[in-house]
């Protein structure tokens, strides 16, 4: 188990982390998700021992590791840009962490060779041991970097934007591969990403960060379906964020009931596009006019305008579009399946 207790970090006047606390359970893969400057990479580097916190503690397996160096923490670190040794072969890169061990901690040549062979099979590079990094694709180099991190048998695997430098299809393939590898090996891992889809697809748990603080921790489903703050709503996935006024616990936008608020006042209502349902015009439901219909593969994005001028995005299937003959200028009714109101947000 990894425990982060009230960790703070400053760089000059910039507050990178502000009393951050976090627990990563054994065998879990956790994503640190947030925009640039949110503190996620600083937190990862503190976990690795590459940075020291100004305040707070890091505990690994119940032991205070705050003052320990990277090697003593037994962590494996995978950088975004691989950081492979260009003058070493694939096998030599993977073996590096074992060869530099001192005295009795250093395995024999035979043990190192067997470990390298096993890892290259694991990362599906068994035939490329003698090649050099310049002879590999980006995806292959990233797998070499991962094998090198695994060679030292880390109790914690840390990855900093591991697929950020790769093209979209390779990134997607490696995400699935990493998830399968994690399940197979039972690793405890933490990875940094600003890619929402990556976090939701790969992680067991997502930690959303903003301005050096944690906004929300939860499973991918919890984070997406039940955002705790306006920031999480805006950052994670497409959302309609419309000003509203809450009176008597009910929020209204252009005559449309759009959820409730615990207290009265001005605020913001959030509703995902797939929760904006478009129906045939009915006198019993709020009216809207279609402003735009955009086909995006199997999904159709429809912009609708309420009578007061408020614009909402809706996502429907192509079948639904064809059934209702949705087109620009068509009068329709809408229904909101799910909405959340933050007064003052």
pTM of this prediction?
0.83
Same-domain check for residues 71 and 217: yes
Is residue 225 pLDDT above 80, yes or no? yes
In this prediction, residue 273 carries a pLDDT of 96
Say yes or no to pLDDT of 327 above 90.
yes
Residues 245 and 188 in one domain: no
**Residue 78 confidence (pLDDT):** 82
pLDDT of residue 107: 84
Evaluate if residue 319 carries a pLDDT over 90. yes
Q: Is the pLDDT of residue 316 over 90?
A: yes
Say if CB 62 and CB 74 are below 8 A apart: no
Q: What is the pLDDT of residue 254?
A: 64
Task: State the residue range of the domain holding 309.
Answer: 238-343
Q: CATH number of the domain that 280 lies in?
A: 2.40.50.100
Q: Are residues 53 and 98 in the same domain?
A: yes
- Residue 5's pLDDT band, with cuts at 50, 70 and 90, is very high
Does 345 score more than 60 pLDDT? no
- What pLDDT score was predicted for residue 302? 98
- For the chain, percent of residues with pLDDT exceeding 90: 46
Which of 216, 233, 250 is a domain's end point? 233
**Domain stops at, among 190, 205, 233:** 233
- Average the pLDDT over 47-76 and give the result: 89
Q: Are residues 111 and 162 in the same domain?
A: yes
Domain with 172 in it: what CATH number? Answer: 3.40.50.300
Closest CA to 191 of 183, 179, 9: 179
Residues 271 and 314 in one domain: yes
Residue 56 is predicted with a pLDDT of 96
Segment 199-212, tens digit of pLDDT: 998 999 999 999 99
Q: How are beta strands 265-271 and 287-296 bridged, if at all?
A: unpaired
pLDDT at 328 (0 to 100): 97
One domain, residues 287 and 217: no
**Domain end call among 172, 201, 233:** 233
Give me the chain's average pLDDT, please.
Answer: 88
Instruction: Identify whether residues 93 and 178 lie together within a single domain.
Output: yes
Considering only residues 51 and 165, tell me which one the structure prediction assigns the higher pLDDT.
51
Instruction: For residue 339, report the phi and psi dihedrals to the nearest 5 degrees.
Output: -150, 160
Query: Does residue 146 share a domain with residue 64?
Result: yes
- pLDDT of 7-59, one tens digit each? 999 999 999 999 999 999 999 999 999 999 999 999 999 999 999 999 999 99
Q: Are residues 7 and 51 in the same domain?
A: yes
Cβ atoms of 344 and 244 within 8 Å: the answer is no
Structural domain count of the chain: 2
Grade residue 183 by pLDDT with cuts at 50, 70 and 90: confident
Residue 263 has pLDDT above 70, yes or no: no
Assess whether 60 and 88 both reside in one domain.
Answer: yes
Q: Let me know whether 128 and 151 are in one domain.
A: yes
Cα distances (angstroms) measured from residue 10 to each of 16, 26, 219, 263, 336: 5, 29, 29, 37, 44
Sheet with strand 311-317: strands edge to edge? 276-279, 331-336, 287-296, 299-305, 311-317
For residue 82, the model assigns a pLDDT of 62
The answer on 171 and 124 residing in a single domain is yes
> What number is the average pLDDT over the span 151-162?
84
User: In 74-167, which residue ranges form alpha helices assigned H by DSSP?
Assistant: 90-99, 109-122, 138-151
- Residue 255: predicted pLDDT: 65
């Amino acid at each position: 188990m990894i425990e982060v207790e009230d960790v703070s970090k400053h760089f000059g006047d910039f507050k990178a982390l502000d009393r951050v606390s976090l627990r990563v359970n054994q065998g879990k893969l956790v994503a640190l998700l947030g925009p640039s400057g949110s503190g996620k990479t600083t937190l990862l580097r503190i976990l690795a021992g590459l940075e020291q916190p100004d305040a707070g503690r890091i505990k690994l397996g119940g032991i205070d590791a705050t003052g320990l160096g990277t090697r003593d923490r037994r962590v494996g670190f995978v950088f975004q840009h691989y950081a492979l040794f260009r003058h070493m072969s694939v096998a030599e890169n993977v073996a590096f962490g074992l060869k530099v061990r001192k005295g009795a901690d250093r395995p024999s040549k035979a043990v190192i060779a067997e470990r390298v062979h096993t890892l290259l099979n694991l990362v599906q590079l068994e035939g490329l041991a003698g090649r050099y990094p310049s002879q590999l694709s980006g995806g292959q180099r990233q797998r070499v970097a991962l094998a090198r991190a695994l060679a030292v048998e880390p109790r914690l695997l840390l990855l900093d934007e591991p697929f950020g430098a790769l093209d979209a299809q390779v990134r997607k393939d490696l995400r699935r591969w990493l998830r399968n590898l994690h399940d197979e090996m039972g690793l405890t891992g933490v990875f940094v990403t600003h890619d929402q889809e990556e976090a939701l697809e790969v992680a067991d748990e997502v930690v959303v960060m903003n301005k050096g603080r944690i906004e929300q921790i939860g499973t991918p489903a919890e984070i997406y379906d039940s955002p705790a703050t306006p920031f999480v709503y805006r950052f994670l996935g497409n959302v309609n964020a419309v000003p509203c006024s809450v009176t008597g616990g009910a929020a209204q936008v252009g005559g449309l009931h759009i959820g409730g608020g615990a207290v009265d006042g001005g605020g913001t209502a959030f509703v995902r596009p797939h929760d904006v349902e478009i129906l045939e015009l009915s006198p019993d439901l709020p009216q809207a006019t279609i402003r735009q219909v955009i086909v995006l593969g199997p999904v159709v994005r429809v912009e609708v305008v309420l009578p007061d001028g408020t614009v909402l995005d809706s996502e429907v299937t192509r079948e639904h579009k064809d059934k209702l003959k949705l087109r620009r200028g068509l009068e329709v009714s809408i229904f909101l399946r799910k909405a959340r109101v933050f007064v003052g947000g």
